[in-house]
Structure 1
Amino acid sequence: MKTTFTTFALSFALCAVAGASAQSRRAVSASAADTVMLSERADGDYIVRQALVERKADSDYSVRYLINLATLDAALDGNSRQLNELNSFVSGMMRDSLVRVNSVVITGYASPDGPVALNERLARSRARDFRNYVDTKYGFSKKFNVKTSSVAEDWEMCRTLVEKSAMPEKQAVLRVIDGTQSPEAKEAALKRMPAAWDYMVKHILPPIRRVAMTIYYDEGSLVEQRTRICKPKPAPAPVPQPVVEPCPPAQPCRCWEIDEVANGIIVEMPDPDAGIYRNSAQGVRKAARRDVRNGREAAAYNSREAERIADEEARAAKKIAKKEAKAAKKAEKASRKIARELGK
């Protein structure tokens, strides 16, 4: 039995789905994928199974705001790239029926400078402003569960940016940020380090004035598995035996042998679920070598028999020719004798 097995393995599909994300999905975290069998049908010599591979993921986008402002400026320092990526993601999400949004979280932030009360109002206003933007452009609140939150003074991001920077008096700045003073006392301590504070105003505080949006969604991918249907193994053909024709008494013996001509080797591939693949493959190779050896021996035997028959026929023809020549010579001698007698 000749078997062909072709499959798009579900395990491979899970890896492919986990590793594939659109270019616009900047930060994606996914849990383990779930596989749901959708259908199973026969297609000629194949069984075709379709499954849905689902995983949870999220996409993050961040836009910056100017100091003391809560109105989005699309042209401000990288905002256009973020908004274009968001637009590409939303466009693809709307076209893909296998994407289902669970929730959208919009968080407004303010930098840790200035009065805390003002920063609280700025953070909330920035979150509402960006929610209005996505509602106006995409209708998010009508379609999804959109939540807003705010962080008045983001000291955590401030510390991260300071730690990664090459600013002057960095260690002293980190000690102030990690201290237990009030936000106002921390700001006052930082301002007493003019070089460090000037660096923070230019490079650390502006990126903190932002809105971050995370879209939590379930994403699915269709996977198809095709399995060849195994057919019953046919019975082996009988091995032909030589046939010998009886020889007439006065003629040389002629023998005929049926010659088997092999036009290919049929290989049986075992069921992938069976644990006998190695033994089956060894048996096939052994049988193939035996068939080749038997074919060679049969060919050699036929060649020897043909040579023997040809030799016998040649000797018989030579013998007959010798007898005919002798008889002709005898007849010629008798003819000359008769001619001499008639002449007398």
Structure 2
Amino acid sequence: MKTFVTTFSLTLALCAAAGATAQSKSTAAAPAPDTVMLSETTDGDYLVRRFVVQRLDDTSFSVLYRIDSARLVSTLGHNAQELAELDSFVSGIRNDTLRQLRSVVITGYASPDGPMKFNRTLALQRAQDLKGYADAKYGLSQHCVVTVNSVVEPWSACRALVAASQMPDRQAVLDLLDSKLSDAALEAKLKAMPAAWNYLRHNILPTMRRATITVVYRDGNVVVQRTMLPKAAPEPAPAANACAGKCPCEVIDRSITGIIVEMPGEDAGQERRQLRREVRGEVRDLRHDVRVADKIGKEQARAAKRIARKEAKAARKAEKAAVRSARELEKMR
């Protein structure tokens, strides 16, 4: 139920979303292999690297709920382990600057048995209950946008679990799940098989009564990493030369036969101007990368909204079809 990612830019407990760039002025390990280096320069005592962080898999945590209940119980099933890992995840990601958050989605689920209207309400209540837990412990909603969803699992979601089990009348149950019966008719036929229904009730349906927290990462983030360069040991002070105080000379080598000095030329000012031009160029490049990353993020967000609207429309259409089927079945009885 959980995909664990070890690096992720997040402050303020779980999701104070950083800007398109982030900086760390302390010595840090090299980024993970899922990043692409854009440039590497020096700035005074720091090595400055710019990266594009590629898309990460979402990180998800799931907790179970009792039948007909929307109250989180930490001792139920694997809940204690999931909540402990969620807490450890939050505690361990606050100092990482190479991952940035796009959104947090909390989804409540209900198993397919029972009235559809009741199950929809129950699934939403489970999502809201888990959101309340995260808000109370991490201040989730105060620092980022949180989306709350609810899903009533269809009977077809049981098929893989049934196929992998050794339950009684397994093939007969699979045939029913593959049939075109309405949910109400399918549940009635399953309940008419006591051994199979008892197995479903104790081993499969409880896994569907759950709620999840999913962290969705941004992709294409431009990140700046500043690493302190190691300082060399100080050179021993040179002996006073014969022209000390009389000319601006610098000792660059010493040998048995005497002292070799180099007079400062006129290139120092040119070097400083060139350095300033390079710094300005880096700033322009960074701003351009930020604008590109922001544009990509907005386009992806718009695409996600379009997909969500299409899925919602399809779900409403399927629901209406199910209602019509149920009504037709009632008329046939």
Q: TM-score, normalised by structure 1?
A: 0.52
2: CA distance between counterparts of 1:171 and 1:93?
47
Q: Secondary structure at the match of 2:129?
A: helix
User: 1:151, CA displacement in angstroms?
Assistant: 1.2
- How many aligned positions are there? 197
1: CA distance between counterparts of 2:83 and 2:195?
34
Structure 1: segments with no counterpart, 5+ residues: 1-19, 25-31, 227-344
User: Is residue 2:6 matched to residue 1:22?
Assistant: yes
Partner of 2:41: 40
User: 1:190, CA displacement in angstroms?
Assistant: 0.6
1: CA distance between counterparts of 2:209 and 2:195?
21
RMSD: 3.0
Residue 222 to residue 55, structure 1, CA distance change in 2 (3 Å): farther
2: CA distance between counterparts of 1:63 and 1:141?
19
Q: Secondary structure at the match of 1:56?
A: coil
User: 1:33, CA displacement in angstroms?
Assistant: 4.1
2: CA distance between counterparts of 1:92 and 1:50?
23
Partner of 1:50: 49
2: CA distance between counterparts of 1:56 and 1:40?
25
Q: Secondary structure at the match of 2:54?
A: strand
Residue 101 to residue 181, structure 1, CA distance change in 2 (3 Å): same
What do residues 182-206 of structure 1 show as CA deviations (whole Å, max 9, x unaligned)? 1111100111111110111110111
Q: TM-score, normalised by structure 2?
A: 0.53
1: CA distance between counterparts of 2:141 and 2:216?
14
1: CA distance between counterparts of 2:59 and 2:87?
12
Residue 137 to residue 169, structure 1, CA distance change in 2 (3 Å): same
Give the aligned residue type for 1:157: A
Residue 82 to residue 183, structure 1, CA distance change in 2 (3 Å): same
Give the aligned residue type for 1:50: R
Matched-pair contact (CA < 8 Å) for 1:127–1:149: yes
Matched-pair contact (CA < 8 Å) for 1:104–1:145: yes
Same amino acid, percent of matched pairs: 41
User: 1:93, CA displacement in angstroms?
Assistant: 2.4
Equivalence map 1:291-310=2 (5 Å): none
Give the aligned residue type for 2:6: A
4+ residue stretches of structure 1 with deviation over 6 A? none
Equivalence map 1:51-66=2 (5 Å): 51-57=50-56, 58-66=58-66
What do residues 185-230 of structure 1 show as CA deviations (whole Å, max 9, x unaligned)? 1100111111110111110111110012210124869598x9xxxx
Structure 2: segments with no counterpart, 5+ residues: 9-32, 230-333
User: 1:82, CA displacement in angstroms?
Assistant: 0.4
Larger radius of gyration: 1
What do residues 77-124 of structure 1 show as CA deviations (whole Å, max 9, x unaligned)? 110100111111112222323332111111111111111111111101
2: CA distance between counterparts of 1:150 and 1:119?
10
Q: Secondary structure at the match of 1:95?
A: coil
